[in-house]
Structures are given as C-alpha cells and as structure tokens.
Structure 1
Amino acid sequence: MDSNEYLQASGGEAQGKPPPDRRSEQRVGPGLHIVATPIGNLRDITLRALDVLRAVDLIACEDTRVFAKLAGHYGIAVPTVSYSDATQDASEPRLLRALAEGKRVALVSDAGMPLISDPGYRLVRAAVAGGHAVTVAPGPSAVPMALALAGLPTDRFYFGGFLPAKPAERRRAIAEAAQVPATLVFFEAPHRLAASLADLGELLGERPAAVARELTKMFEEVRRAPLTDLAAHYAAQAEVRGEIVLVIGPPGEAAAPPGEALDAALRQAMAGASVKDAAAEIAARFGLKRRDVYARALELKRKG
C-alpha cells in the first residue's frame, strides 16, 4: 500500500540506530529478498529487514525517493533502482541479470509488504523460473493491522485490493464479493471513500464495518459503525486524507430484514432489472442466500 509519509517515532529522531548484526549480514545469500518496510512509523522496521537491506547489492524500490527517507534514517547505503508499474518493463531485465550474476537483490514497496496491491509478483515469478532463491523478511502490513483493529471476525477474510474507480465496475465488484462467507477487506483512496461507502451500504446493507485510516501515523483513526452510518459520516466530511482500509463484516452479521422490507426491495429492484439480477442485488444488500431470494422473487413475479 502506497505511503509518501514516514513519521518519526515519538515526534523526533529514533533514539540511536541499531548496530548491524554482521553474522546476519553474512547469512544473506544470493537471490531475491522481499523486504517489508514501515507503513508510517519508522520504528516498525524489523532488525532482520535492516540486516538484509544493508547486506544486499541492489534494492528495487517502488519509488526511490520514498525509500531514500528510510535509507537515510537507518544508514542504508546500497544502490537502488525504480521498480514500479511504470518502470518494471525497463528495470526487470537489470534485476534478473543481477540475480543471474549471483547478486543479492532486495525488493521493497513504498510502505508495508511488497506485492500487496503493489508491483512485484512478475519479478518473483521470473526469479523462481530462473532458479534463484526467493526469501521474505516479513513486517508491517495494513491488511492484518486493520483486521485486528476492526473488531470483526478474523477466522476467514477476503482481501479485494482497491475497489474500482468507475461506479459501475465498483458496484459489480461489491456484488461479486457480497456472498463470500468471510470478512471483506478493501483499500480505498480518500477522494473515493464516500462514494464507495455509499455503494457498499446500498449493496451490503447494515453490515458492521470499520474505516481504518493513517494506521501507525500521527492521525491514526479507526471508526466502527454499520456501513450506512459510515457512508453518512464520510459524505458529510469536506475532505478526507491518508491511506484507508475498509473492513466489512461477513454475510449474516447484519440482522435479516423483515419479510415486508425484503419484498418491497425486490419489487423495486425488479422494476428496472431482470429477476435474476434483482435477486442477486438484494441478496448482496441483505447478506442473504441468493437462491432463497431468487425463489422469493419468482414468487412475487408470479403474483404480479
């Protein structure tokens, strides 16, 4: 998940930089090393991540300018190369040549765990195909962090990345995820938050949800409420900033609607859509089984 803001811990410089573990550096062998970096607070970096980043021969960064802030803070003096959606075609051959020469290459994103809605899987696939070792130095990720804070079931979850920007595509993606029997997790851009919450509320109904914003940063916020309440709250905000994770309870978390409300919703939906599409939309909105709603829709249609 992208972040252009690295905040200093406790409002100032870190209290000293941990010395490198020379034994760990010696254990960083040739190959591709996927390294997680902080999503906000610089002190969330792991000691192992620092060992790897200091020991490698080349670091592939989503944005070299963003990584320079982390590198400067921890004294990492290793050559970097840009590896983003826009630059991966040009930089990937260089990285693969380095791996073929037995070099140690690290992959980092702007913040958090690489490859989670960030570029990198192509490089990993190519490295594996080339017979190169691939390892991970794990660390912060906004997805499990938001799940832990949301107060919603965590035994099963579905991560859908960023919701589509176009309204029709976004609603289609929400409808597809509606029947997944798990907690839903999405990333969202601040300028689209209100519109996405409105669509989620309309299609998923009163499911409990949480908006986690600016995690680990100075203005961290976690707001928990039913989807429609969250939609109303953020629609009234003049401006929303920061990195955002949406966490939504699984089907069945919201109370089932009374029969009259279900019938009214079905009749309204069928006025502008086929029975099948109307049933899918209403099932998604209320977190009900699609086949049951479809059967009720057919019954209402027969009755006229």
Structure 2
Amino acid sequence: MNHIVFFLVPGLHLLDLAGPAQVFSTAADSGYPYELSYVAERTTVPTAQGLPLTARLDPPELGPRDLIVVPGWRCRTLAASPAVGQDTLRLLRDHHDRGGTVAGVCAGADLLGRAGLLDGRRCTTHHDVQDELARRYPKATVVRDTLFTTDDRVVTSAGVASGIDLALHLLAGRHGPTAAAHVAQDMVVYARRNGGEPQASAMLRYRSHLDDTVHRAQDLLDARFDRPMPLPALATAVGVSERTLTRLFTRATGGLTPLRYQQALRLERAEYLIGHGTTVDAAARAVGFEDPRMLRRLRARDTR
C-alpha cells in the first residue's frame, strides 16, 4: 500500500486539497494501492472556504514510494503565510531524504521552500506570487507561467485546479498514461491543460480534441506504448486507412504522427524511470526501445 499524506495548513483552499485527493481516491477505487491520510499540527483545520476539516496529528510510517502533498492556502503574500513548526519542516525533509516524493500545490511550494527543498531545484507556484517565491528562495529556479514542475522528487504546481493535473501526472508516471486517462475520464475532467511544461503527461497534452477515431488510436497506443504498433495494424484496428489515420492524427494532436505520439509516451515513462535510479539502457528496454541510442536521441532532442 502506498500512502498519500496531505499536510493541512490553516486557511487552505479546498480545491487545492480535493483535486489531488480525488485523483488518488479514484485510483484506489480502481484497484491501485493507495491509502490517503490527512495530517496537521492541530486536529481541526479551518479552510479558506469556511468548512473546517479534521486531521490526525501523527503521519503514518512512510517509505520511498509514498507521497506528501501540501495544498495551498489563502494569502495575499507568501510572507503572510501561516507559521508551521520545525517538526513539520523536518517531516518534509526527512521524507525526501529517504527517497520519498513531496509536492506543493500553489502556495504549498512556500512550505517546501521553508523546509529547504527548493534550493537548487526547479519549481513553480500561482502566478500572483511567483516573483515573491523567487525572492524568498534565491537558490531555487522559479519557472513562471507553467502548469507544474517536477525536479528530483520535488513537485510543485501553479495552484487550485492545477493540482489535479499534477496528481494525474504523478499517477501516469507510476502506472502509465492509461491509468491516468481512466481516472481523468471517471472524474470528468478536461484531459488537457495548457502550461508549456515539458514534463506534463502526454495524455494531458494531446487529448483535448474531439476526433473519436484518434481517441481510439490513442487508447490503443496508451495501453501498449511499450510494444510495437505498426501503422497498418493501428489503422486496421480503428477502421480507417493508414493515410486517413495519419492525416486525422496529425491534425488532432497539433502535428504528431502516431509514431511520434508513441515515442512521447515512451520518453515520458523512461524519464520517470531514470529519475528513480534506472539506467538509460534499462529504461530504454523497459519502454520498448530495442536500441538505447534511440532513447538518447529523443532525450537530446527534447532538451534542445
């Protein structure tokens, strides 16, 4: 069982919490091994929307596969954010030091900064306080006007509904894009958010169209992106010619062919594996590349 721990700060925004919580709760309902906990420094936590929440004082025992999420809170400036104790900051640092992932939604990035987890890493937050975040943590690289960032198991998002996209991205990285697509479909969320973040899920970036034929082709590619899927077989499976499928696919996805889409899925999964200690060669084999040089070329192209 993987624990998802939400650390609740007084004045938190309900959607900053509810969005990611719904993603992982829906994933758990679908059979994925997640258990959600809500932790705070006090048992009753007021929210920005006036609904008090109840939390536990002690977090469960956490391991490297577990995640701590800090939802954002209402504040005009980060300097006016609620105070937290040293035990809270130590909890965040120790979890990350042991190989775990920490995430901050909106102003939640500031709490990660207070714990020293933003230094030397890319991060983002709501556009209203991006400049202040950069001033408060000059050793961090604040990426402005982007949906979310992830850097060495430190994940931050722009705020409010973007927490849903952050959680779907993490789910896709752990279980593949099909799992995230199913959860998004169950939640009836729009399966794409503009943001310009290169590590955003390919499923989120290229699913905003209304072409049923292309969606069916993407479903097949999502489910078996790590296996060969020749264009003739894909076209036959969705009931159109190769030429028609290529034309529809490139139009719907803004220029991607089915092969390039599959490569995007493979690259995304490979980057996750590499970020968690897998070698490039092993990651290439795991995502379906027969020759690791292809993965190296795609990674080089993606960083240009």
User: TM above 0.5, one fold?
Assistant: no
Higher strand share: 1
Q: TM-score range by the shorter chain?
A: under 0.3
**TM-score normalised by structure 1 residue count:** 0.25
Higher relative contact order (CA 8 A, sep 6+): 1
Q: Which has the larger radius of gyration?
A: 1
**TM-score normalised by structure 2 residue count:** 0.25
